[in-house]
Amino acid sequence: MIRLDSVSYAYPHTGKPALTDLSLSIGKGQCVMVTGPSGAGKTTLCLASAGILAHEYGGKKEGTVMIDGRDVKSYKDLSDIASNLGIVFDDPEAQLIFTTVEEEILSALERRGLQVEEIEDRLRAIMELTKLSGLKDRAPHTLSGGQKQRLVLAVTLCLGTGILILDEPTSELDEHGTDGILGILKGLKAQGRTILLVEHKFTRMREIVDTLIVMEDGHIRASGIPDEVILDPAIRKIVLPNFTGIRERTQNAGETVSSEPLIVVKGLTHTYGTDIHALRTIDLTISSGEFIAIVGENGSGKTTLIKHLNGLLKATAGFVSVKGKDTSKTTITELARDVGLVFQNPDHMFFADTVRLEVAFGVDNLKIPDRDEVIDHALMRVRLTHAKDLYPRWLSRGERQRLAIACVLAMQPAVIVLDEPTTGLDGKEAREVMEVLKELQLAGHTVIIVTHSMEIAQNCADRVITMENGSILSDVCTTGERS
Amino acid sequence: MTEILQYVQKEGFFHRLAPLTKILFVITVGIMSIVSTSIPFLAGVIIVLLVIACIAGLHREVIRQFLLIAVMSVILIVITVITLPGGQTLFVIGGIIPITTGGILIGIVMTLRFAVLITAIQLFVLSTQPRDLVHTLERMRVPVDYTLMFVIALRFIPTLQIEGNRIHEAQLARGYNPGSGVGGKIRSIAPVMVPLVSNSLARSNVLGLTIDLRGYRTKIRTPLRERHLMQMDYAVIVVLALAFAVFTYSAWIQLV
């Protein structure tokens, strides 16, 4: 259904090719999963396979791409290609145009030249398949990440194509959201659709994958039956995240944990508006030098809790203190000296022209002495010294995540809090980030991560706090139950 | 977060009108408010619009925007009074800037016009589903690129609000303190606007591809759940025509 013959491509104004002599053939009804480090060319492969590179992009192109037995260049335009192939990009927000779920799906259905009755039937069927029936009047910005991605998939299914290309559809989703997408993909595979899936979550998707392709530097490093491909230890490292051994490295870190409480949370309650109870009477004590993972589904209150630690949110009731300072009476700038917060999407913070200037921003804001040494040291800690003069947005996703950590690290806070630090990273990059965080703990920082992954929590943290519906469900450390 | 200019799901009288009727409503009210310089007339139009908002069940959403109108009004009046002196001088600020009756009157007229236009457009946008609007404008032969530009601009207001807020929080967490007031706003431009614009530009590429892949530029469309003119639409159009006729007649008499 899709065939690439010796395809090479370089984006305009870049010397380095994004794809190099890449050949690939996907048969009817097959599900092919492509994985690899960020910057390996996975998204470019999606664009090439969908004929988008041929029709919409400049740059240096070589080789042939066939969709459904026809050269992509013989299709009139993207709309013509879309009658054979549907594509879902990783950012659902950019693919939603209208203001309600039903409108969005209808707007795609009515452009296919179908009869009114057929449109209404398809609308019902697609809404059921993607479990969106109960959300038909909701606006896109009020949907969760998983719901948004299901909606984008629903709109793509409206095209009724036999081929689907999905570029990291679950990268921003929690376990529950990923389950939703996996369920739909299983149904589509059973219908005989051809699927090209770019993903990092191999373990979750394994049951639907017929062929696994591992990309690196614009070419295919390995390809074949999944179980055979992952026999190679180097490939296994990329495909299967492995965090074992990270916590053990900190066995002696117990010595750095002090009994002195660093953060004290008492009876913390937070209500958004009048009726959304995000946190319900949380009690928590965190000591200096701990490595804590906060886990829980979306909406369980994890992010709301960590935003209280640096004063971004003020308690509706209760009390939070950091190093003895009441956060309700301390400014955010003052608290930033003690608690550094790295948000989920590093692109929400980058604005400077170079990596070095980006790190300097926080250092200058807090007027930290020995500015240059502090910045260099932070970049060295996250292994980004080589990139110090580059434009931050040119870095790979894994490097951008480490830069975000450096920005906060350079402000020398005692506590570093990270919201989903491994989002969108492959196994190797995710491990690198977690190793950096462990090193920070060994250097005396208190590290708190919010994560959906129990694997990361159990293999990296010394203490795992599970949240549900705004309350702490369990608080477990390696030595047993805490509360 | 207060939502700005977003469609509100309701069953009010304005929601039941066809988009074409509402477009005619905005155009008629717009022309009348731009042509008129009468303060009582403009104030009267605002009252009528508020009454319509109450009947349509949109008064809460409309009144919420009055803070924005109040702020803009103050700015408009100040600029007009300073730049358009006329009539009797009441007093002089700092020996240079004369405050005149003419300047104040023009400032008030400009403010009222602004309030009329904002309120009328708001009534239209709050009660019209973007898909219906796209269909109507398509039937009026407006190129689809312009229609989608308008719809997408409205759709992305809350998304940009949410993202702007996240970026602001991320920078605050980096010890950033731009301060309050105008100086603070200017200082916050680079750390907040640069990521916001960069992320939006990256997003616009995918958005453009999505529009093409969904076939919006092809002229094919199945007429589905179309909004045709109903009896109530004809009644409203007659009322608008009468109001416009009376307005034109009074304006003509005054001119004569």
Which among B158, B173, B213 has CB closest to A341?
B173
A166 part of contact set with chain B, CB < 8 Å: no
Strands A31-35 and A480-481, bridge-based pairing: unpaired
Q: Do A97 and B152 touch (CB under 8 A)?
A: yes
- Cα B63–chain centre separation: 13
Question: Which of B214, B220, B226 should one mutate to test binding to chain A, selecting the residue with the greatest count of A CBs within 10 A?
Answer: B214
pLDDT score, position B216: 78
Q: Assess contact for A450 and A198: CB atoms under 8 A.
A: no
Tell whether A347 and A470 lie within a shared domain.
yes
Chain A nearest CA to B14, separation (Å): 18
Partners of A32 in beta bridges: A196, A211
Tell whether A296 and A315 lie within a shared domain.
yes
Chain B nearest CA to A273, separation (Å): 10
Which residues on A lie below 8 Å from B155 (Cβ)? Answer: 96-99, 140
Residues 337-366 (A) with a CB less than 8 A from some CB of B = 337, 340-341, 343, 345, 347-351, 361-362, 365-366
Tell whether A355 and A451 lie within a shared domain.
yes
Rounded Cα distance, A298 and A419, in Å: 12
CATH code at position A330: 3.40.50.300
C-alpha torsion angle, residues B45, B46, B47, B49 (rounded to 10): 90
Cβ count within 10 A of residue A67:
21
pLDDT score, position A84: 87
Taking 50 as the threshold, does the pLDDT of residue A253 lie above it? no
Question: Please, which contacts does A70-75 make with residues 24 or more away whose CB atoms are closer than 8 Å?
Answer: A75/A51
Report percent pLDDT > 70 for chain A: 96
- Which of the listed residues A239, A267, A298 is the one where a domain comes to its end? A239
Total domains, chain A: 2
Tell whether A226 and A294 lie within a shared domain.
no
Which among A110, A349, A393 has CB closest to B174?
A349
Nearest CA in chain A to B171: A349
pLDDT score, position A190: 93
Residue A397: enclosing H or E segment and its boundaries?
Answer: helix A397-409
Rounded Cα distance, A472 and A450, in Å: 13
Residues 26-85 (A) with a CB less than 8 A from some CB of B = 52, 56, 77-79, 81-82
pLDDT score, position A483: 47
Which among B9, B154, B222 has CB closest to A114?
B222
Q: Do B170 and A343 touch (CB under 8 A)?
A: yes
Taking 90 as the threshold, does the pLDDT of residue A357 lie above it? yes
Tell whether A278 and A157 lie within a shared domain.
no
Tell whether A180 and A283 lie within a shared domain.
no
Q: Assess contact for A1 and A26: CB atoms under 8 A.
A: yes
Q: Assess contact for A415 and A445: CB atoms under 8 A.
A: yes
Question: Which of B129, B149, B163, B210 should one mutate to test binding to chain A, selecting the residue with the greatest count of A CBs within 10 A?
Answer: B210
Nearest alpha-carbon partner for A38 in A389, A294, A388, A403: A403
Rounded Cα distance, B241 and A278, in Å: 52
Contacts of A361 (CB under 8 A, 6+ apart): A351, A352, A407, B174, B176, B191
Taking 90 as the threshold, does the pLDDT of residue A362 lie above it? yes
Torsion angles phi and psi, residue A26, rounded to 5: -120, 120
Strands A317-322 and B97-100, bridge-based pairing: unpaired
pLDDT score, position A482: 52
Rounded Cα distance, B58 and B22, in Å: 15
Q: Assess contact for A378 and A427: CB atoms under 8 A.
A: no
Tell whether A148 and A278 lie within a shared domain.
no
A283 part of contact set with chain B, CB < 8 Å: no
pLDDT score, position A398: 82
Rounded Cα distance, A277 and A317, in Å: 11
Rounded Cα distance, B204 and A89, in Å: 12
Nearest alpha-carbon partner for A429 in A216, A250, A218, A229: A216
Q: Do B213 and A82 touch (CB under 8 A)?
A: yes
Nearest CA in chain A to B170: A349
Burial class (CB in 10 A: 0-12, 13-18, 19+), B253: exposed
The string over A360-386, giving b where at least 16 C-beta atoms fall within 10 Å of a residue's C-beta and e elsewhere, is bbbbebbebeeeeebbbbbbebbebee
Q: Do B220 and A89 touch (CB under 8 A)?
A: no
Q: Assess contact for A106 and B225: CB atoms under 8 A.
A: yes
Q: Assess contact for A481 and A474: CB atoms under 8 A.
A: yes
Residue A41 sits in which domain range? 2-239
Q: Do A333 and B172 touch (CB under 8 A)?
A: yes
Q: Do B171 and A81 touch (CB under 8 A)?
A: no
Chain A nearest CA to B204, separation (Å): 7
Which residues on A lie below 8 Å from B129 (Cβ)? Answer: 98-100, 103
Contacts of A473 (CB under 8 A, 6+ apart): A296, A466, A467
- pLDDT digit string, tens, across residues A130-146: 888 888 888 888 888 88
Tell whether A428 and A308 lie within a shared domain.
yes
Tell whether A204 and A335 lie within a shared domain.
no
Tell whether A355 and A210 lie within a shared domain.
no
C-alpha torsion angle, residues A438, A397, A90, A358 (rounded to 10): 100
Nearest CA in chain B to A419: B170
Tell whether A231 and A268 lie within a shared domain.
no
Nearest CA in chain B to A53: B209
The string over A190-213, giving b where at least 16 C-beta atoms fall within 10 Å of a residue's C-beta and e elsewhere, is eeebbbbbbbbbbeebeebbebbb
- pLDDT digit string, tens, across residues A376-433: 999 998 889 999 999 998 888 888 989 999 999 999 999 999 998 988 788 888 898 8
Which among B169, B218, B223 has CB closest to A79?
B218
Question: Which of A115, A351, A375 should one mutate to test binding to chain B, selecting the residue with the greatest count of B CBs within 10 A?
Answer: A351
Which among A52, A103, A113 has CB closest to B220?
A113
Q: Do A310 and B173 touch (CB under 8 A)?
A: yes
DSSP string, B40-95: HHHHHHHHHHHHHHHHTT-HHHHHHTHHHHHHHHHHHHHHHHHH---S-EEEEETT
Chain A nearest CA to B1, separation (Å): 10
Q: Do A94 and B203 touch (CB under 8 A)?
A: yes
Rounded Cα distance, B248 and B30, in Å: 14
Which among B173, B190, B212 has CB closest to A78?
B212
Taking 70 as the threshold, does the pLDDT of residue A257 lie above it? no
Chain B nearest CA to A14, separation (Å): 17
pLDDT score, position B46: 93
Rounded Cα distance, A38 and A429, in Å: 8
Chain B nearest CA to A82, separation (Å): 6
Q: Do A94 and B204 touch (CB under 8 A)?
A: yes
Tell whether A83 and A26 lie within a shared domain.
yes
Could you state, in order of their start, the residue ranges of all structural domains in chain B?
13-128, 139-213
- pLDDT digit string, tens, across residues A182-239: 999 999 999 999 999 999 899 899 999 999 999 998 999 999 999 999 999 989 988 8
**Per-10-residue mean pLDDT, chain B, length 256:** 77 90 95 92 94 90 83 88 82 82 90 92 91 86 87 88 90 84 78 91 88 78 78 94 93 75
Which residues on A lie below 8 Å from B222 (Cβ)? Answer: 109-110, 112-116, 119
